[in-house]
């Protein structure tokens, strides 16, 4: 290896670590931004189940300012109790963005129930 190529490798080897780290950060950024939005601009509502027969998703609906919105919950959520629910049950807590109420999350998260039971 010549002197020039050795200097070239010595200058560029840190990119071997920086490039995968940057790619990993860019792949996680949309999730981080969504979490940031829910941390700062979320509001809560009590929703109801609309369809519990789909094997992959449970469908819910919630009302904000007289308008009804809907969403889905994955059936892979091990901490949920939707297996014992029927359509129309008011048993799901929904967090939605106050700026965009059609964007929501739903579930039986312990931190939500602590916040909502104040």
Q: Enter the pTM of the model.
A: 0.64
What is the tens place of the pLDDT at every residue in 57-100? 888 888 898 899 988 887 776 555 666 666 777 767 888 888 89
pLDDT band for position 110 (cuts 50, 70, 90): very low
Alpha carbons 103 and 91: distance in angstroms, whole number: 19
Spell out the SS3 assignment of 13-62: CCHHHHHHHHHHHHHHHHHHHHHHHHHHHEEEEEEEEEECCCCCEEEEEE
| Percent of residues, the chain, with pLDDT higher than 70 | 76
Q: Which residue has the higher pLDDT, 10 or 65?
A: 65
Beta-carbon contacts of 116 under 8 Å, excluding residues fewer than 6 positions away, are 44, 93
Alpha carbons 36 and 71: distance in angstroms, whole number: 20
Which is nearest to 100 in space by CA: 35, 40, 41?
41
Q: Is the dihedral of CA 11, 17, 18, 19 positive or negative?
A: positive
């Amino acid at each position: 290896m010549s002197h020039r190529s050795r200097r070239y490798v010595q200058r560029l080897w840190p990119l071997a670590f920086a490039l995968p780290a940057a790619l990993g950060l860019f792949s996680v950024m949309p999730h981080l931004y969504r979490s940031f939005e829910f941390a700062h601009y979320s509001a809560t509502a009590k929703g109801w189940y609309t369809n519990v027969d789909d094997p992959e998703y449970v469908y819910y609906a919630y009302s904000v300012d007289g308008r009804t919105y809907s969403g889905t919950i994955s059936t892979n959520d091990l901490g949920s109790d939707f297996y014992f629910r029927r359509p129309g049950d008011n048993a799901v807590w929904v967090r939605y963005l106050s700026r965009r109420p059609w964007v929501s999350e739903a579930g039986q998260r312990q931190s939500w129930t602590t916040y909502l039971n104040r």
